[in-house]
Amino acid sequence: MKVLLDLQYLNVATTGIKTYMMELANATKAFPHPEIEWIFTHDPEKQAADTTFKNPSSKFQRLNYHLDYFRWKEFQLPDLVKKHQPDVLICPDFVSPAASLPCRRMTVLHDAFFWQMPQNYPRWWRKYFLNLIRKGLKEKTEIITTTQYSKTALHKHLGNELPIHVVYQSPKIINSVADEMILDRLKLRDTPYFFHLGTFDKRKNLPLLVHAFKTFLEKENQDFKLVLAGGPGQSIQMNDFPVVEKLVSELGLKEKVVLPGYISDAEIVSLYQEAFCYVFPSENEGFGIPILEAMKFGVPVIHSDQAALKEIANGAGLSSKSGDASDLAEKMILLSRDKALRETLIKQGLKQSDNFSPKKFLEAFQYLILDAAPAL
């Protein structure tokens, strides 16, 4: 059985989809199957390191990228299918070629955000991208998604014509040695802090977290800090970084809220290891990788009661009401006061994180590839 894995999108992927693609590619090499031959369209490390289209600074550069992407999906990838003659083509970035292909397709739709949250995307871009997605959902296509929550949402917007399978992915495996210099650089040494890692997309609700942290400080009078690591949102419509910066200033929290921007894997390890708690107040997620990353590092998690996050945490995190800053603050206060609860969450989180591994991630794909199973 020959499987062609499309890795072209790694040249611009930065967050969850990048993790998905890299962990899947790495798992195929770490856990080979005697009945499956994996073929990569690109070397994953080299493609991820390609900076040609990363962080475009002009409309011309963005247009060039979209033309390159269209050319890849509609011409070059179908040519590779003809060349390698795979039994299965896996496209882990929402889009499969519109052209007719002789093989099965597995197209990964990580979430239903394009349908659920249209206000977060440029109108013309969203219309164009949704058109690409729909044109590729044809023939022998099976949709892969990340949670039961996402499956339900996709059924609502796409109907029931195509089978949808849930495959739980693996969080990023970070093997870097901790770079503790970041603790000194950010003045976090011997200071407890709440931690969040990810882009400043509006759906992450980071302004709400800042408000909750302000309330926490007022009620607890403890020497805590809040670390919000990561880059700006992925578009002007989605970017909440300026909002957070302004809010931090208005609330007088410049000495308490740390905004380090992008950080290295070694710095991520250090910040996870020393965090008092990981806080994830997002209003909408397809999966929730940081929850599992934090749990694997033995960090207790507070997350919103958004359906996908509850599904992934499975009771091993402390849930707060979505969009409710007061409730989030109360959960932060509770965790700071109740040492027994914190220890319980750490133990439960470590156990829950064991349910998500590269091997299990790959085995779910192998099952679908070899058995052509009906939708789960």
Question: What Rg, from alpha-carbon coordinates, does the chain have?
Answer: 21
Same domain, yes or no: 279 and 364 = no
Does residue 57 fall inside a structural domain?
A: yes
Lowest mean pLDDT segment, chosen from 59-68, 95-104, 146-155, 197-206: 59-68
Same domain, yes or no: 234 and 252 = yes
Whether 1 shows a pLDDT value over 50: the answer reads yes
pLDDT interval class at 376 (50, 70, 90): very low
Same domain, yes or no: 157 and 263 = no
- Give the pLDDT mean for 335-339: 96
Same domain, yes or no: 128 and 190 = no
Q: Which residues contact 178 (CB under 8 A, 6 or more apart)?
A: 266, 269, 270, 273
Same domain, yes or no: 205 and 223 = yes
Same domain, yes or no: 290 and 185 = yes
**Residue ranges in the chain assigned as alpha helix (H):** 16-30, 44-49, 59-71, 77-84, 113-116, 123-136, 148-158, 181-185, 206-220, 241-250, 265-274, 289-296, 307-313, 325-337, 339-353, 358-371
Q: Which residues contact 131 (CB under 8 A, 6 or more apart)?
A: none
Same domain, yes or no: 343 and 235 = yes
Domain around 254: 181-353
Q: Give pTM, 2 decimals.
A: 0.91
pLDDT interval class at 372 (50, 70, 90): low
pLDDT interval class at 59 (50, 70, 90): confident
**DSSP-assigned beta bridge partners for residue 318:** 302
Whether 102 shows a pLDDT value over 70: the answer reads yes
pLDDT interval class at 173 (50, 70, 90): confident
- The answer to whether 284 touches 311, Cβ cutoff 8 Å, is no
Does residue 112 fall inside a structural domain?
A: yes
| Tens digits of residue pLDDT in 202-228 | 999 999 999 999 999 999 978 999 999
Does residue 376 fall inside a structural domain?
A: no
pLDDT interval class at 123 (50, 70, 90): confident
Enter the DSSP assignment of 177: P
298 vs 51, higher pLDDT: 298
pLDDT interval class at 68 (50, 70, 90): very high
**DSSP-assigned beta bridge partners for residue 320:** 304
Same domain, yes or no: 149 and 197 = no
Number of domains in the chain: 2
Same domain, yes or no: 139 and 222 = no
Does residue 176 fall inside a structural domain?
A: no
What's 157's domain CATH number? 3.40.50.2000
Separation CA 13–CA 199 (nearest Å): 12
Same domain, yes or no: 274 and 348 = yes
Separation CA 48–CA 241 (nearest Å): 25
**Average pLDDT over the chain, rounded to whole?**
93
| Tens digits of residue pLDDT in 257-315 | 999 999 999 999 999 999 999 999 999 999 999 999 999 999 999 999 999 999 999 99
Does residue 186 fall inside a structural domain?
A: yes
Same domain, yes or no: 217 and 348 = yes
Same domain, yes or no: 246 and 133 = no
